[in-house]
Amino acid sequence: MRAPARPCPRCRLPLQPFRQGGVDAEFCGRCRGVCLRGEALQRQFGPAADELRRTSGAWDEAREKLECPGGCGPMRTHEAKGLTPVPFDVCAVCTSVWFDEGELVALGKLMRAHRQATPRPRGESALEAARRELDAVEAMQETEDDRGPPREGTRWWLFALATSLPVEGYNPVYRRPLITWALIVACTAVGLLEMGGVVGFEWALVPATLVDGHVSGWRGLFGSMFLHLDAVHLLGNMYFLKIFGDNVEDRLGRVPFLLFYVVCGLLSAVAYVLPDPGSVTPAVGASGAIAGVLAAYMVFFPHARVGVLVVFYWVKVRALWYLPYWFLWNVLAALVLHAPGVAWWAHIGGFVAGGLLAVALGRLLPDARLRAIVDRPMRLR
């Protein structure tokens, strides 16, 4: 069953989807306006897309406020500065951007004029230009303001208030995170089978059976990475995997990321078994492998911000400081508090393994994002 077409913010007629140069968009057949959102913005403008959505801009209160096609409310009118300012409308909630007829073309010309004003140095290859683009993203992360929300819109504030989970700041992805989503789907599918009673804790990791060499012990090494205690455990792990895993996959490449994830999961299981090899307490969850992903994120993106809500106020912390805090809390819980019910040593082992592997892979493997930028589809003209 197909979802109903979103209405044009100006004519209220159903928007029609179209695809050009690898970019999915929507347009109105009457007023010829164009709506871009999500990945379409990223493909069209690269890292500049995030600035289009995040900028507070200069917007005119007197100008009519168009309704967001997604029904989020009034959009804000922004202006891209140039010899002739180019207006466009942005929804602060769903980050859709609406261009009236000619505005998208005018903005493209303005951006090309800016690129021509700072031309590519003579002899610079496409790969070098891609590296310069990544350097610009890192520079933006380093200079990002520590105040204010990491994502615009009330929904993120309410989400952080209700869940106490962190919100990722500016860190664009250049390739679809297929492996990350595949892992999320696999864990969710196993979780549904658990709820239906089809799969049980016979796939959990039990140190004593593993040390004794039982088949069930070896089976638990892999099976435990997909089992979860309950829906809250599953949703929390999958959220962390999504916000941090897609960037790590983007940096390593799909196959290396999958191998990295599995190795971190196995080493985290070993870290759980070693302190008490005779234990019969089963361990389940993807937390150990995800801990390795967190460590890799810290290594690859130390200046990327993570937003947390503290007493109703946003605090944005660099990954270089936030993720070690998470690690030290696990060490404290394992060594001092002896808090039961959580496989703290699996978290610790996964984080240490992920950090060491990330340092090694960062030196051995080229940045997969460079090739993704070079191979980026042609943009709308």
133 part of a folded domain:
no
Residue ending a domain, choose from 63, 92, 117? 117
Examine the domain organization and report whether 94 and 180 are in the same domain: no
Averaged pLDDT for residues 319-339: 88
Give CA–CA dist 296/248, Å, rounded: 7
Q: Which two tokens stand for residue 336?
A: 């001092």
Maximum mean pLDDT: which of 108-112, 149-153, 199-203, 276-280: 276-280
Examine the domain organization and report whether 354 and 249 are in the same domain: yes
112 part of a folded domain:
yes
126 part of a folded domain:
no
Examine the domain organization and report whether 295 and 189 are in the same domain: yes
Looking at the structure of the chain, the number of domains it has is: 2
Examine the domain organization and report whether 55 and 158 are in the same domain: no
Examine the domain organization and report whether 85 and 191 are in the same domain: no
> Who has greater pLDDT, 54 or 296?
296
Examine the domain organization and report whether 167 and 292 are in the same domain: yes
Task: Give the CATH number for residue 322.
Answer: 1.20.1540.10
Got the DSSP string for 136-190? Answer: HHHHHHHH--SSS-SS-SHHHHHHHHHH---EE-S---SS--HHHHHHHHHHHHH
Examine the domain organization and report whether 193 and 278 are in the same domain: yes
Residue ending a domain, choose from 89, 117, 145? 117
Examine the domain organization and report whether 359 and 221 are in the same domain: yes
Per-residue pLDDT band at 161 (split at 50, 70, 90): confident
- pLDDT for 42: 60
**Dihedral in degrees, nearest 10, Cα atoms 358, 363, 364, 365:** 70
Examine the domain organization and report whether 322 and 182 are in the same domain: yes
269 part of a folded domain:
yes
Q: Which two tokens stand for residue 258?
A: 């999958």
Which has the closest alpha carbon to 346: 298, 294, 283, 296? 283
3 part of a folded domain:
no
131 part of a folded domain:
no
Examine the domain organization and report whether 271 and 195 are in the same domain: yes
Residue range 350-363, pLDDT digits in tens: 999 999 999 999 99
Examine the domain organization and report whether 257 and 321 are in the same domain: yes
Examine the domain organization and report whether 86 and 162 are in the same domain: no
Got the DSSP string for 94-132? Answer: T--EEE-TTHHHHHHHHHHHHHHHSPPPTT--HHHHHHH
Say how many CA atoms lie within 13 Å of 276 toward its Cβ: 12
- pLDDT for 260: 97
Give CA–CA dist 159/130, Å, rounded: 35
Give CA–CA dist 97/79, Å, rounded: 12
Q: Which residues pair with 305 in a beta bridge?
A: 318
Range of the domain at 54: 16-117
182 part of a folded domain:
yes
248 part of a folded domain:
yes
Give CA–CA dist 132/372, Å, rounded: 14
Q: Where do the DSSP E strands lie in 257-339?
A: 305-310, 313-318
- pLDDT for 202: 81
Residue range 78-132, pLDDT digits in tens: 766 554 567 778 777 777 788 887 776 666 665 555 444 445 554 457 788 788 8
Residue ending a domain, choose from 117, 135, 165? 117
Per-residue pLDDT band at 182 (split at 50, 70, 90): very high
